Amino acid sequence: MPFHFRGLRHSNDWSRLLFVFKDNYRKIKERNKSNQKKQISTAVFESYDGIVITDANADILRVNESFERITGYTQPDVVGKNPRFLQSGRHPSTFYQSMWTTLLTTGHWEGEVWNKNRSGKIYPEWLSITAIKNIHQQITHYVGHFTNLAVIKQAQLELERLSFVDPLTNLFNRRKLMDQLEETFRDPVKRMQTFLLFADLDDFKDINDSLGHHIGDLLLQEVAHRLLEFAHPYGDLVARIGGDEFVMICHRILSVEADRMSIATAYAHQLLERLKTTYRLQNANISITVSIGVRVLSLEDTNPDVAMQEVDLAMYQMKSEGKDGVMCYIPEIKRKAQAEFQIRQKFETAMERKEIFFVYQGQFTSEGTLAGAEMLSRWKQDGQWISPGQFIPAIEKTSMILTLGELSLREAVIQIKKWRKSGIDVPRISINISSIGIHRHREDVVQFVKGVIKDDNLDLSFLTFEITEASLLHEETAKRTLRDLHNLGIQFSIDDFGTGYSSLAYIHTLPIDELKIDRRFIQQMRDSSTARAIVQTILSMGQNLGIRVIAEGVETEEEKTILDSMGCQLYQGYYFMRPEPAQKLVDYTNFLQKPL
């Protein structure tokens, strides 16, 4: 139906009508804007975290449902009260005095607080308080926002336990072994009564290759069980420090040098015979041999790492002499360490001959879309592959690791530019930061990165540095370096997140953009409710903090299904793809069909 504007004869009439339209439009727009603000405010107030609003005297005016759920108190219970009724008694009065001083001075305070809920249970929370001021800068309200840390604390304790335990065998791991060995070295008397045994299964790879890794794992578990049974009467510590490598710290009342050596050797031979007894695994009889190294400690020994190196050398000497036996360490065995020197020598030549190259393992969304890739170094010499597990440990304590880091960063930049020039969508590339030696020279590293880029138009957010050495995260120089690099646009990822006690602290002290869940938790999810709870906690933490979370080491559809149900968004592992050259990465993901 057409509109008829009868009686609008003059321009003033039209002007009045236009004014009415504009005024109504303005009112509608303001009303919509106000409603939108109310909706946002309601959504924020009813968040998963607890929220409490007080007046200027700190008397409670309103709380949300999460406050009621966490504390057990309803809104009618608490309105008009001061929040101090929640205090647990764990904090001294000086704690709260400092809190209020900071709050009144800066307008904000946050930190960890232990409070008590209605049932009397004490729980930890991360509390953030903000002072609200009017136009005259007078405080009118306080808003408290808190997260219940009880689940996180419980998970953190479990992470601490798991950081000392080998998940396959439930033996202690290398970290616990070294802690115990360092304690032994601090006591001269105890050191004189100690010897080390290093047991390695001979040709264990053949068992994996012929019978399958499942049988190999069962064998390792049974070996661990026999070691524990054998060591129990003496209280010896048993640890699994590698694939088929086990170490024992043994304490005995030892007298003269000859007796100490003979007692340790006799004990090692008894262990050897116990480990060689036939294993019955899934209707299969399996016989193995074992090579054992022995290192008797003395007052002259001052370094536990050297002692570990030497018992390791003794074991390898036994392998080189035919396996299936016991070898005591003597100084002459040290010559075997030249093998590592040879690797370093070959590595320098390999760099000159361009035998070192890089492959990429994709990182995918839950729908299978490529979201990024991790760059990994490989070495092939004269047609033979040299494992990163061999050459990385050999060079990581030398300047060669810096050379490899420079090469990897340059390669990443070159590859990104190639992809862009070809019109290919550029994935985010991750590089292990340990290969750049960031803990050494802050200014040098920052200038080096700037020098490699040499392109003001290149968006550095495509580059992610993975932090793998927890020790460097406690150095202030390293922290400043990370912040300087982050200001350039480079992103940072915590690799193997969840394996260290202080992992949560990294998020608050470093510019972290991504967490990579340790593959051990992924592998344990199917059989361990604790592992599933830890994975879920990390995923929720990342979501709440706006940090990407990648599940690393996903190898089966079952693992992906479990992670999907937890809301995981990013994946890396053999289930999606193995490490491949750059071109295969593009082909694999059909990147060539995705123009910029």
**pLDDT tens string 515-545:** 999 888 998 898 888 889 989 988 998 888 8
Q: What pLDDT is attached to residue 433?
A: 73
Residue 193 gets which letter from DSSP? T
Tokens of 546: 């706006």
pLDDT per residue as tens, the chain (596 positions):
444 445 445 555 545 555 555 555 565 555 555 554 444 345 456 667 899 999 999 999 999 999 999 999 999 999 999 999 999 999 999 999 999 999 999 999 999 999 999 999 999 999 999 999 999 899 999 999 998 888 777 777 777 777 889 989 999 999 999 999 999 999 998 998 999 999 999 989 888 888 889 999 999 999 999 999 999 999 999 999 999 999 999 998 766 555 788 889 999 999 999 999 999 998 888 999 999 999 999 889 999 999 999 999 999 889 867 889 999 998 887 765 676 788 888 888 898 888 999 999 999 998 888 888 999 999 998 888 888 878 887 787 677 887 888 888 888 888 888 888 877 776 789 998 764 555 555 566 777 787 777 665 677 888 999 876 454 554 566 777 888 889 888 999 888 787 654 456 567 677 889 999 988 899 889 888 888 998 998 899 888 888 999 999 999 999 999 999 999 999 999 999 999 998 888 776 654 344 43
Q: CATH 3.20.20.450 spans which residues of the chain?
A: 338-591
Q: What pLDDT is attached to residue 436?
A: 53
Check: CB of residue 516 under 8 Å from CB of residue 552. yes
Check: CB of residue 501 under 8 Å from CB of residue 537. no
For residue 539, give the H/E element and its range: helix 529-545
CA angle 80, 86, 87 (to 5 degrees): 130
Q: Following DSSP, what letter does each residue of 50-70 receive, concatenated?
A: EEEEEETT--EEEE-HHHHHH
Tokens of 560: 């992906």
Tokens of 6: 């009868």
Q: Which CATH number fits domain 338-591: 3.20.20.70, 3.20.20.450, 3.40.50.460, 3.40.50.12500?
A: 3.20.20.450
Q: CATH 3.30.70.270 spans which residues of the chain?
A: 164-329
Domain 44-154 has CATH 3.40.50.10420: no
Q: Taken in order 65, 70, 74, 79, is the CA torsion positive or negative?
A: negative
- Long-range Cβ contacts of 418-424 (<8 Å, 24+ apart): 418/582, 419/586, 419/591, 420/596, 422/592, 423/595, 423/596, 424/586, 424/591, 424/592, 424/594, 424/596
pLDDT digits (tens, 9 = 90+) for 399-431: 788 788 888 888 888 888 888 887 777 678 999
Check: CB of residue 563 under 8 Å from CB of residue 535. yes
Tokens of 219: 């064998």
Q: What pLDDT is attached to residue 232?
A: 92
Q: What pLDDT is attached to residue 502?
A: 46
Q: What pLDDT is attached to residue 473?
A: 52
The total of other beta-carbon atoms located within 10 Å of residue 411's CB is 18
**How far lies 124's CA from each of 56, 81, 91, 155, in Å?**
26, 21, 12, 13
For β-strands 428-432 and 463-467, DSSP reports them as parallel
If you count them, how many residues does the chain have? 596
Fold adopted by 164-329:
Alpha-Beta Plaits (3.30.70)
Tokens of 109: 């305070």
Return the beta strands (E) in 117-214 as ranges: 122-133, 139-148, 194-201
3 state DSSP class of 373: strand
Residue 76's closest CA among 60, 87, 95?
Answer: 60
Cα radius of gyration rounded to whole Å, the chain: 31
Q: CATH 3.30.450.20 spans which residues of the chain?
A: 44-154
Q: What pLDDT is attached to residue 23?
A: 59
Q: Following DSSP, what letter does each residue of 481-517 receive, concatenated?
A: HHHHHHHTT-EEEEEEETSSTTHHHHHHHS---EEEE
